[in-house]
Amino acid sequence: MEEVKKIRTACRSCHGGCGVIAHVKDGKVIKVEGDPNSPISHGTLCSKGLSITQLAYHPDRILYPMKKTDKGWERITWDEALNTIVEKFKKVIAEYGPESIVVGQGTGRDYESHLYRFANLLGTPNVLTAGHMCYVSRVGSTLITCGTLPIADYEGGPKCIVMWACNPQWNNPDEYKGENFWRAYKKGAKLICIDPRKGFIANKADLWLQIRPGTDAALSLGFHHVIIEEELYDREFVEKYINGWDAFKERVIKEYPLERVQEITWVDKDLIRKAARMYATTKPACIHWGVPTEQTINCVNYTRATTGLMAITGNLDAPGGNALFVNPPTRTVAEFSRHRDLSPEQQKKRLGGDQFKLGARVALINPKKAWDAILTGKPYPLKAGILCGSNPVVTRANAKEAYEALKKLEFLTVIDFFMTPTAELADIFLPSGTWLEQNHVADNWKRHGFVLARQKCVQIGECWQDHKIFMELGKRMGQQWWDTVEDALDYLLEPSGLTWEQFKEKGYLQGEMVYYKYKQRGFSTPTKKVELYSTVLEKWGYDPLPKYVEIPESPVSKPDLLKDYPYILNAGLRTPTFFHSANRNIPSLREIRPDPIVEIHPETAKKHNIKDGKWAYIASPRGRIKQRVKLNDNIDPRVVVAEHGWWYPEVKDPGHGWNVSNINILTDNAYETLDPAMGSTNLRVCLCNISPCEE
Ligand SMILES: Nc1nc2c(c(=O)[nH]1)N[C@H]1C(S)=C(S)[C@@H](COP(=O)(O)OP(=O)(O)OC[C@H]3O[C@@H](n4cnc5c(=O)[nH]c(N)nc54)[C@H](O)[C@@H]3O)O[C@H]1N2
Ligand SMILES: Nc1nc2c(c(=O)[nH]1)N[C@H]1C(S)=C(S)[C@@H](COP(=O)(O)OP(=O)(O)OC[C@H]3O[C@@H](n4cnc5c(=O)[nH]c(N)nc54)[C@H](O)[C@@H]3O)O[C@H]1N2
Ligand code: SF4
Ligand SMILES: [Mo]
């Protein structure tokens, strides 16, 4: 029997980053605990991180490469699996060109550097991620507005926090943990919460703005209206550093008077005024925005308008405001992945590239473009695909179409831990290693100024970490990679002067903390200013100024639908224990939330004779599903709030109940509902009805 070894590493059961000490005995992780020395999490871990051993040693986990045969799934060797993929990819490239291969992932998982490098060296511009409506869409919109993504600077001591469509206590999204927010809040910061649902943060807030889902861009412009009208902006900043101030001001004053903003957003105009004043006059103030602001036709409009709020109040790159953090000196994802090696000729072939020009600028495609290319062969057919860590059948809008498309794809490889409904559609399954089974420079994709050492603790079955899978597949395709995963990490770390072995010992690196960088060199935009009037959007033929466009399927835009679908469906509330479609098979987590929950206002429930705790049907023009009802009077009676990500791993047929409670059966992906510049999908708002379910 071995002594217990304690290995310091970093969790990745969500967007990741919490410091972990893994206890390893006889080649098995027997326990994980929070690392008190972590600069990110200071010893805390959530239920998902703590249950990693249940996931890693789960009896249903697939531990070997598999191929689908007439008799079902069969175990094969890595050699056979990789050679099968290479043979197929080479055939597709010879017949149709590399653009007919789609390479995809889901949410950001620390392997985008390797996945994109594989795609770029393959020559395909068709990388399908969640980025069109999550995070990268924020990065792209701020890139053209102020040069990079502004992050709430909690460590800098904000005196006012605007929590805008975000719930960090449950989600720990992207750069931040709920813990950072909480420490800043406890120091006495004022709190404004903008959320259609009164949750934990709204309950704590000084001001809660109960917004109509999807109308955040209008509210942001309403804030501007107050700040301009009452001259609460930072005059010097505006004069020196805003591009297009006069044009922007004119639009805001003429088109967004508070009466109109109230009508659009359902938020009382006096409350809007009070909130805008509080934000603009309490210094420093930060805005922490969440993903519902991106999953809409107004993604770029909202993000640009709200970046404008940070800028004109003098809070941009200010301590305690929204900082533009400097990353530690490592190779960026763009550099590592050799974006520049994708030839202009291949870039031109990116599906939807000439339609969603900002999406193309950040190397994205919209899923609808991929489904269309598979189902209709236009503008050219997609023939083969490789999806790593994604379950689009459950997580993408108009799930029935996603399902049909992936089923029709001639050859699909899925890399995952489990046989998900998406993996069941594949020809080859490759078993991925969890964060306990990988060496990596974690968080290199984020904008919070840290990179963290994620250390391999154990080997389980024949699983490979995703990075190694792309490396080995790439080498067999004739691409230039390194001999080992660790050699590639030495290259990634080279600018820091550290090798992987040295970095592992250090545990993390932090970038230099410098505020007000624009005073020396301006902002990284064409005019060197914050472009409220975007010269880039103008050049591409879009409206250069932010505005509000009505949600495509709403009581305002589709009044005729209201007779059959009278409610606004707000689809995708996260819950602390699940991560999108994952974790339904983890006993300790499923026990906490055994069923999918739809929240309905008691008045609404009464109208339809729907009882608390019973199942109800939810239907939209695209289909019908069922979830279990929870009455909640902290939402508007006109709004229904439902969870996303549901399938039933315990159902053993290959569909695993993907269409029973999956909210994305109801959401839409039609082109007219997408953000015109980014291609963001409108996942959060459509019209629905509800009825009791007798089954
Ligand atoms: N209606 C609605 N739909 C939504 C949303 C919403 O709010 N509303 N949110 C959207 C958002 S923001 C996002 S980001 C997407 C997420 O969409 P996805 O990323 O597709 O969803 P997940 O369920 O997180 O991931 C799918 C699979 O990844 C596997 N996995 C986890 N970690 C790893 C790993 O390290 N390697 C590999 N190979 N596999 C791994 C899991 O086992 C799981 O089966 O969903 C979107 N869908
Ligand atoms: N436990 C857990 N954590 C996660 C995830 C998960 O699935 N589970 N997913 C991860 C991913 S990929 C992401 S992108 C992040 C997202 O994390 P967040 O950005 O926090 O997103 P949500 O929880 O979807 O929504 C945050 C809040 O916005 C409110 N909201 C809904 N619609 C609107 C709207 O139209 N306007 C406004 N103003 N508010 C609205 C919701 O009621 C909710 O309180 O979480 C990450 N963390
Ligand atoms: S918040 Fe995310 S990184 Fe932290 S323990 Fe939970 S799952 Fe892991
Ligand atoms: Mo996301």
Q: How far is Cα 244 from Cα 545, in angstroms, rounded to an integer?
A: 9
SS3 per residue for 25-76: ECCEEEEEEECCCCCCCCCCCCHHHHCHHHHHCCCCCCCCCEEEECCEEEEC
Domain 66-136+331-443+450-510: CATH architecture, name and number where available: 3-Layer(aba) Sandwich (3.40)
Return the SS3 of 630: strand
Right CATH number for 144-326+528-540 from 3.40.50.2300, 1.10.10.10, 3.40.228.10, 3.30.420.40? 3.40.228.10
- Ligand nearest to the Cα of 419, by number: 1
Rounded to the nearest angstrom, the distance between the alpha carbon of 134 and the centre of ligand 4 is 5
Residues 255/224, Cβ–Cβ less than 8 Å: no
Residues 574/634, Cβ–Cβ less than 8 Å: no
Return the SS3 of 27: coil
Contacts (Cβ under 8 Å, ≥6 apart) of 126 = 99, 101, 102, 103, 119, 350, 351, 365, 370, 382
Classified by CATH at the fold level, domain 559-692 comes out as Barwin-like endoglucanases (2.40.40)
Return the SS3 of 387: strand
Rounded to the nearest angstrom, the distance between the alpha carbon of 366 and the centre of ligand 1 is 16
Encode 120-142: b = buried (16+ Cβ within 10 Å), e = exposed: bbbbbbbbbbbbbbbbbbbebbb
Rounded to the nearest angstrom, the distance between the alpha carbon of 395 and the centre of ligand 4 is 10
Q: Please spell the DSSP secondary structure of 646-664, one letter per residue.
A: ---TT--STTTTTTTS-GG
Residues 118/479, Cβ–Cβ less than 8 Å: yes
The pTM score is: 0.98
Q: How far is Cα 271 from Cα 205, in angstroms, rounded to an integer?
A: 13
CB-ligand 2 contact for 211 (6 Å cutoff): yes
Q: Which of 197, 291, 391, 663 to mutate to test the pocket of ligand 2 (most atoms within 8 A of CB)?
A: 291
Burial of 643 (0-12, 13-18, 19+ CB in 10 A): buried
CB-ligand 2 contact for 571 (6 Å cutoff): no
First-to-last CA distance in the chain? 53
Any residues with Cβ below 6 Å from ligand 1, and which?
106-107, 109, 130, 134, 291, 295, 388-392, 395, 415-418, 420, 432, 466, 571-572, 579-582, 644-645, 663-664, 667, 683
Phi (first) and psi of residue 516, to 5 degrees? 50, 40
Which DSSP symbol is given to 57?
Answer: T
- Ligand nearest to the Cα of 680, by number: 1
CB-ligand 3 contact for 213 (6 Å cutoff): no
Q: How far is Cα 519 from Cα 517, in angstroms, rounded to an integer?
A: 5
Q: How far is Cα 185 from Cα 192, in angstroms, rounded to an integer?
A: 11
The domains of the chain are located at 66-136+331-443+450-510, 144-326+528-540, 559-692
**Two tokens, residue 63:** 């531990």
Q: How far is Cα 502 from Cα 499, in angstroms, rounded to an integer?
A: 5
Burial of 2 (0-12, 13-18, 19+ CB in 10 A): exposed
The neighbouring-strand residues paired with 127 are 103
Q: Residue 419 CA to chain centroid, in angstroms?
A: 22
Atom 24 of ligand 1 has which residue's CA nearest to it?
Answer: 580
Closest CA to 435 of 56, 78, 61: 56
Which DSSP symbol is given to 433?
Answer: P
Q: What residue ranges in 244-375 does DSSP mark as E strands? A: 285-289, 322-323
Q: What residue ranges in 433-476 does DSSP mark as E strands? A: 440-442, 450-454
Q: Residue 385 CA to chain centroid, in angstroms?
A: 21
Count of helices and strands (H, E) across the chain: 27, 27
Contacts (Cβ under 8 Å, ≥6 apart) of 70 = none
**Two tokens, residue 676:** 């015109």
679 φψ region: left (φ > 0), alpha (ψ -120 to 50), beta (else): left
The neighbouring-strand residues paired with 21 are 8, 33
Across the chain, which has 695 residues, the per-10-residue mean pLDDT values are 92 96 98 97 96 98 98 98 98 98 95 98 98 97 98 97 97 91 97 98 98 98 98 98 98 98 98 98 98 98 98 98 96 94 97 97 96 98 98 98 98 98 98 98 94 98 98 98 98 98 97 96 98 98 98 97 98 96 98 98 97 98 98 98 98 96 98 98 97 88
Closest CA to 152 of 362, 330, 4, 324: 324
Place of tokens 């490889």: 413
CB-ligand 2 contact for 572 (6 Å cutoff): yes
Residues 574/170, Cβ–Cβ less than 8 Å: yes
CB-ligand 2 contact for 106 (6 Å cutoff): no
For β-strands 428-431 and 101-105, DSSP reports them as unpaired
Contacts (Cβ under 8 Å, ≥6 apart) of 188 = 159
3-state percent breakdown (helix, strand, coil) of the chain, nearest 5: 35, 20, 45
